[in-house]
Chain A
Amino acid sequence: MAIKLLLEKAHVQGIRTYEVYRREGGYTALEKALKELSPEAIVEELKKSGMRGRGGAGFPTGMKWSFIAKPEGVPRHLVCNADESEPGTFKDRYLMEFLPHLLIEGLIISSFALGSNATYIYIRGEYAWIPDILEEAIREAKAAGFLGNNILGTGFDCEIYVQRGAGAYICGEETALIESLEGKRGNPRIKPPFPAIKGVWDRPTVVNNVETLAALVPIIKMGGEEYAKIGIGRSTGTKLISACGNINKPGVYEIDMTISVEEFIYSDEYCGGIPNGKRLKACIPGGSSVPILPANLLLKTTKGETRYMNYESLSDGGFATGSMMGSGGFIVLDEDQCIVKHTYTLARFYRHESCGQCSPCREGTGWMEKILKNIETGKGKMSDIDLLWDIQRKIEGNTICPLGDAAAWPVAAAIRHFRDEFEWHITNPQEAQIRNFGLAHYADPIHIPVTEHSKSI
């Protein structure tokens, strides 16, 4: 049984209420933080823990916090990014829905560490029922004296506000989120200046993912060094994975990043294998924007090593043969799934969610969608594949925010690994309307050349 830090108490009856949460040892980390630790010490603990941002990019949170500017007389803000809109990702929703107090506790600790007296939770509009849960939790925490003025007699004031978004994927990008929070159109800002210098209302701001902020609670409870012992290498602590697709047990799982991908998919403790005896074809290990991997590259790296569920192992091989941990949206595709249709669906999503501010993303996402639709409906041409490749190449890296990259990567990876499926769709347009390409060779073991030299290493 793996270590559980965040979801340990998730199944306790009534854990959503303050009473039960407190009885189960809730808010003790907050008491420890406010009474025994200084803000600097909390940041220090966080640095020691080595925790990396859970929102997708995996940037070390302690380092991010140390960048925040502290000009005299200017308020600072902490914003919790609950605009979880990445297709396949629903871990924050689970956390907020069932353990709202864990997030609130983490938020108060973080606000204290960063000196934020007004902290915001920016939540996506589609999570229509969750703001009520959070607001109830905030009300309870305030009644218990953990929010408001002079918390626990430390002289620290803090209020938490829940702000609903209107349902835009782009508002999960931190600067677009800030714009939206200010009541403007959710267009990403041009960086620099970074939010740590000029964020909400031009004040220094830290924007963190829900899971990141909730993880502050176990880090403070056990201490940064203890936390860093869980996991492996630079992937410390536990990570929530939201698994979905063709698996027996979709849901949110907490893993300690030492298990293999194969274990995660087939173990009964986690996804429980693929239903109806089907075989694994492909998987997106970290949310829709990260590169899709065929079964053979997913389970083993090109060096022949087992691939593990952590930041380093999943990105082993770079984009050529690897992928990314991303936000932990684990999407499994079995042999009956069509990669072309899947890629088209994602392209349609990114086209719909592009903010339209910068040209490559605005025009390129729509173009890719149209070409993919043609291929999917049997009207594609062989030259379309190279054209798609060229379009994604011209979008990637040339846009204001990472949405351009996020739209380009899935298309690039699909063509890179599943080119023959695209070609089959084009050469057999009629057949492609009736049946799928199937598993083909995508699960075949990769030949790893062995030489005298490599043996000696």
Chain B
Amino acid sequence: MSEQQLFKVTIDNITIEVPAGTSILEAARKIGGEVAPPAMCFYSKLKGSGGKCRTCLVEVSKGSEKDPRPMPKLVASCRTTVMDGMEVKNITSPKVIDARAGVVEFLLLNHPLDCPICDQAGECHLQDLSYEHGKEGTRYEFQRRTFKKHDLGPYIQLHMTRCIMCFRCVFTADQLTENRVHGVLDRGDHAEIATFIEKSLDNDFIGNVIDVCPVGALTDKTFRFKNRVWFLKPMDAHRDCPKCSGKVTLWNRGEEVFRVTARKDEWGEVEDWICNECRFEKKHSNDWVIEGPREISRHSVISQGHYLDAVKPTETFLAVNDGRAPHLLLDIHTESDVNKPEIELSLINGPAHSNNFNSK
């Protein structure tokens, strides 16, 4: 067996070859688009993450070439490795769609939906998830749960009510920092992220928990209520940092740097971890070498600012007419009363028929 053994896997009728040991989710991400299941807890850069949120459940309709039996239950695609000849159904399986809608409902059950005052709004994975896979309205008629507030120090703001228990921040603290001082206390639906005794999170690199948090449970305290992310202009920038790669995204408004985050890829995952100093202390444009605007998916609300490739509109007629000027130009106001405020619209006759013109 060669080291780079390739397995053939078919996801939603699209076949792809991936190295052995790849998870279904990562294979699906290689195909991209809608085929990639949503992931709220899995984070490819954090070892041991995934399997918890259950949003990435998929149906395995054929186990492998050797053992073609389907898997009896839906499986978490982030933690299931592909087998040769495996066939997976994601959006083509009604079972998956149904289960996923259920999971979204469960995740939103106790979520406060305080998006209008949440700093994560606009870049929140739970917003995207519920928009894409959820149902409108909730069947939950009880009070949503609340928690005693914990202060995590000057950098990180914790909103436990928004937490979906993805455990990413726990893995981050375990794998990036010297000492984890926060974790999950209690169990079941009263489990919470907290420090055991009131302590602040100030380890170096702990700021990355803000970036990995899929919801607004952990947000940047230095950016708290300062601005909405979609009013900001993300700029790639770097600096010589002795501790980290120094590659960041600055979120500007005008010349002012409102916040600094790590750069995130198309799946919302951090490309390079950054240190606390870069994130919290360097908030002047002249601390950084600006590289240029960061590309943001056009589906994201952040891209609605049209800061990228902002060019003046060209003359439409010329553009669509291959540079030829129009032969005839009509002013809509001379032809129709529709736009005149004093005209009662209901009195205007219906659409014109060919008869109307023939009679002239």
Contacts and interface: CB of A to CB of B under 8 A. Distances in A.
B165 A362 contact: yes
A259 interface: no
A394 B99 contact: yes
B38 interface: no
A367 interface: yes
Contacts, number: 87
Interface string A199-240: 000000000000000000000000000000000000000000
Interface residues of A, number: 27
B189 A359 contact: no
Interface in A344-385: 351-360, 362-367, 370
B194 to A, nearest CB: 13
Q: Main SS of chain A's interface residues?
A: helix
Contacts of A353: 187-188
A399 interface: yes
B159 interface: no
A397 B110 CA distance: 22
Interface in B122-142: 139-140, 142
B312 interface: no
B54 A359 contact: yes
Contacts of B184: 185, 356
Nearest to A369: B189
Contacts of A363: 106-107, 109-110, 189
Contacts of A356: 165, 184, 186-191
Contacts of B106: 359-360, 362-364, 367, 394
A102 B79 CA distance: 40
A427 B24 CA distance: 49
B54 A360 contact: yes
Contacts of B109: 363, 367
A353 B33 CA distance: 38
A398 B188 contact: no
B58 to A, nearest CB: 12
Interface in A151-200: 168, 170, 185, 190
A365 B187 CA distance: 12
Contact of B76 (A190, A367, A370): A190
Contacts of B302: none
Nearest to B105: A394
Nearest to A383: B139
Contact of A359 (B79, B142, B164, B186): B164
Nearest to A366: B189
Interface string B74-102: 10100100000000000000000011001
B205 to A, nearest CB: 23
Interface string A5-32: 0000000000000000000000000000
A400 interface: yes
A408 to B, nearest CB: 12
B51 interface: yes
A354 B99 contact: no
Contacts of A185: 183-184
A363 B188 CA distance: 8
A387 interface: yes
B60 interface: no
B294 interface: no
Contacts of B98: 394
Contacts of B186: 356
B107 A352 contact: no
Contacts of B110: 363
Contacts of B52: 357-359, 400
B142 A360 contact: no
B165 A398 contact: no
Interface string B287-321: 00000000000000000000000000000000000
B237 interface: no
B73 interface: yes
Contacts of B50: 190
7 contacts: A170-B187, A185-B183, A359-B54, A362-B165, A363-B189, A364-B106, A399-B54
Given A190-B50, A394-B106, A398-B103, 4 more contacts: A185-B183, A359-B55, A360-B102, A362-B189
Interface of A: 168, 170, 185, 190, 351-360, 362-367, 370, 387, 394, 397-400
Q: Which 3 A-B pairs rank lowest in CB-CB distance, beginning with the nearest?
A: A394-B102, A356-B191, A190-B51
